[in-house]
Amino acid sequence: MEATPSTAPSTRSRPESRRRCLPRRHVSSPRGRADLLDEVVDFAKLIGYGVGDWQETPLRDWSRLDSRGKWVHRRCGLSVPRQAGKSHDAIIWAAFLVLEMGYSVLWTDHNYSTTCEMLARFRKIFGKRVGDPDAHRAINRRVSDAKSKTAQESYEFANGGVLCFSTRTDSASLGYSFDVIIYDEAQLLTKSQAQTLNPTTTHAPHKNSQLVYVGTPTRAGCAADRFKELREEAWGDEPGDDMCWLEYGVDEVGDPLDESRWYLANPSLAEGLVEVEDVRTGVMGMKGDDLAIAQEYLGYWLPPSAQTESPLIGEDLWRSTLIPPEAVPARFSKLAYGVKFSSDGGSVALAVAASDGTAAHIELPFCEPTARGTKWLVNWLAVRANQACSVVVDGKSGAGSLCDRLQELGTPKGYVIRPTTDQAITAANLIFEAAGDGGITHIECPALDLSAATATRREIGKGGGWGFGGDNSTPIEAAGLALLGLATSKRNPKRKARVT
C-alpha cells in the first residue's frame, strides 16, 4: 500500500495561505496504474459539475482498474470537513457509473430528509421524469424510467444502469442487486445497517462491486462505527490492498475560530471552490463548542480513547423493542406528543406516545430542519389537541415561540406543557427504563432508531441529573417527552385516539 501526504494542489495565482492544504492521510494500492479519471472529468463537464484539483484524487482512486478491468479499490473512504463538497465526487461517480457504464448503484443516507435533498440534486442532472422538458435533453433521453413514490425513488436507464435511493434501516427491503453502494454521511453508518446493505453486492450484475464511504469525523460516543473502523485500518500499519482512503483535516482542536486554519483543513476553500463566508456562517452557528466546530469544519478526528463513551440505550436493546407495523394496536386509550428542538436550533423532532393500558407505543412522525419554519408544526399540533392529553415541548431555541403560538390558537388548558429541568430528567429516565424492561414498543424508523442506538449521557442541572446527548439525541429526547406527557398529564380528551 501507498500511504503518503499526496502532492500539493496547483498553486497558480492563489494566496500563500491557500497553498498548504495537504491531506492528512492518503492511502491507495500500488496495483493497477490505469484509471478512468480523464473520462470521469469529461463526463462531469457534461452534467455541469466542475472537478477541482483535490477532487481528482478520489475519482482517480475509485476508478483505478487492475489487469482484469476490475476495481483495484473495493472499499473507498473520503473524510473531509463540512463545506468541502463531500458529496460532490460521489454524485459525479454515481452518475458516471449508471450513465456511462450501465452499473446499478445504491445511494444511501441516514435520514429520509437527506435522501430527498440528494434526490433533488440528481433530478437536476437526469430530470424528474422521462421526457422532462426542463432537463438536459441529451441526458434525459437516456432515462427509461423514473420512480418518485416515497421511499422507492429510483432511475432506470436505457443502457441497463440503475440508480436507487434508500434511507438506511436495519431491514431494508431492496429489489435489486447492486454493483456499487455509496454511503453518504458515512459517519452515521451502523454495523447492523451495513450488514443489511452490503450483501446486496454479493451478486453484483457486473461482478465488480465497490463500497464508497463519504463523511465527516465520527462524533464522541457515537455507536455508528463503520466509518471509524475503516479509518483505523487506513491509519494502521497494514491497510488492506483493496481499500483507499483520503482524509483532510487538522490533528488538534486548537483555535477553531482562527480562519487561517480553515484553509489548511478544507481543500475546497483552499482552491477557491467554496466561499469563506459560507464556512464562517456555519462556524459562527456553533460558536462556543470548539470540539464540535473542529470536528465538523476542520475535519478533526478524536483519538480512539475519546470515542469510547457508550450509548445509553444502544442498538441491541432498542431493537428488542421493535414490532412490525401490523402488530400496532388499531386504537389507543391515551395519547401524548413530545416536541424537542435540537441544542443548536437546527432541527425539531415530534414523537407520539400511545397507551392501550399495557406497554406504551412510540412513533416519530417528524424530524425536520427548522429552516422550513414551524408553522406546519403549530398547525399539526393544534388540530390534534382534542386527540391527545398533552404536548410536552422542550429546547432552548424554538420551544417558547411554539408554545406561545399554540396558546394563541386557543388550544385547551393543560394541553401544552413546558417541562422543568427535573421533568426533563424524568423524561430521559422514563424512556431509558422502559426500553430496558420492555415497557415500550416501536416500529422501524431510521431517525429514531439511530438516535436510540447512539445517544449518550449528558449532565442536566446541578443535582447529578442526566439526559440524552450526542449528535442524534433529539428524536429519542422527543420520545422521552411524549412518555412524560403520557405518564403525568391528567387531562383527558374523553375519546379514543389513533396514532396519526
pLDDT, tens digit, 9 for 90 and up, residues 342-380: 887 888 999 999 998 778 999 999 998 888 788 999 999
Sheet of strand 143-147, all strands in order from the earlier edge strand to the far edge:
2-4, 25-28, 243-247, 75-79, 210-215, 180-183, 104-109, 162-167, 154-157, 143-147
Rounded to a whole number of angstroms, the distance between the first and last alpha carbons of the chain is 54
The span from the CA of 51 to the CA of 45, in Å, is: 8
Task: Give yes or no for residue 94 having a pLDDT over 80.
Answer: yes
Query: What pLDDT score was predicted for residue 15?
Result: 44
Please name the residue that has the C-alpha cell 454521511: 185
Question: How do residues 287-340 score in pLDDT, each as one tens digit?
Answer: 888 988 999 999 999 887 655 567 889 888 999 999 999 999 888 989 999 999
In whole angstroms, what is the distance from residue 343 CA to residue 285 CA? Answer: 11
pLDDT at 289: 85
For residue 276, give the amino acid letter. V
- Check residues 358 and 175 and name the one with the higher pLDDT: 358
Residues 6+ apart with CB under 8 A from 115: 107, 108, 109, 153, 165, 166, 167
Single pTM value for the model: 0.67
70 by Cβ neighbours in 10 Å (0-12 / 13-18 / 19+) ranks as middle
Q: How far is the C-alpha of 197 from the C-alpha of 228, rounded, in Å?
A: 18
Residue 175 has a pLDDT of 60
Share of the chain above pLDDT 90, in %: 65
Provide the pLDDT for residue 373: 86
Fold (CATH) for 2-305: Rossmann fold (3.40.50)
Write down the domain spans for the chain.
2-305, 315-488
Cα 89 to Cα 55: distance, rounded to the nearest angstrom: 7
More confident residue, 38 or 286: 38
Q: How far is CA 446 from CA 134, 189, 225, in A?
A: 33, 11, 16
Q: What is the pLDDT of residues 8-34, one digit of tens each?
A: 333 333 444 445 799 999 999 988 879
Contact predicate 244/77, CB 8 Å: yes
CA distance 123 to 145: 13
- What is the DSSP track for 304-340? GGGG-PPPSS-HHHHHTTB--GGGS-S-BSEEEEEEE
Predicted local confidence at residue 306, as pLDDT: 59
Contact between residue 367 and residue 347 where contact means Cβ atoms under 8 Å apart? yes
pLDDT given at position 370: 86
| Nearest 10 degrees: Cα torsion 103, 108, 112, 114 | -100
Q: What is the residue whose three cell numbers read 451478486?
A: 203
Which carries the bigger pLDDT value, residue 356 or residue 129? Answer: 129
The model's pLDDT over 445-476, given as tens digits with 9 standing for 90+, comes to: 988 998 998 888 887 876 667 888 877 899 99
Beta-bridge partner residues of 212: 76, 182
d(CA 199, CA 207): 13
**What gap in Å lies between CA 497 and CA 333, rounded to an integer?**
6
Q: What is the pLDDT of residues 190-208, one digit of tens each?
A: 877 888 788 888 888 899 9
* pLDDT for the residue numbered 112: 78
pLDDT of residue 173 exceeding 50: no
* Residue 196 dihedral angles phi and psi, to the nearest 5°: -75, -45
Express each pLDDT in 217-269 by its tens digit. Answer: 987 666 678 999 999 999 999 899 999 999 999 999 999 999 999 999 999 99
Instruction: Considering only CA atoms, give the Rg of the chain.
Output: 24
Question: Distance of alpha carbon 350 from its chain centroid, rounded?
Answer: 18
* pLDDT at residue 446, rounded to an integer: 87
CATH for the 315-488 domain, from 3.30.1780.10, 2.40.50.100, 3.30.420.280, 3.40.630.30: 3.30.420.280
At 245, phi and psi to the nearest 5? -150, 130
Give the position of cell 490533528.
251
Please report which residue ranges of 178-258 form alpha helices under DSSP H.
191-197, 226-234
DSSP H or E stretch at residue 164: strand 162-167
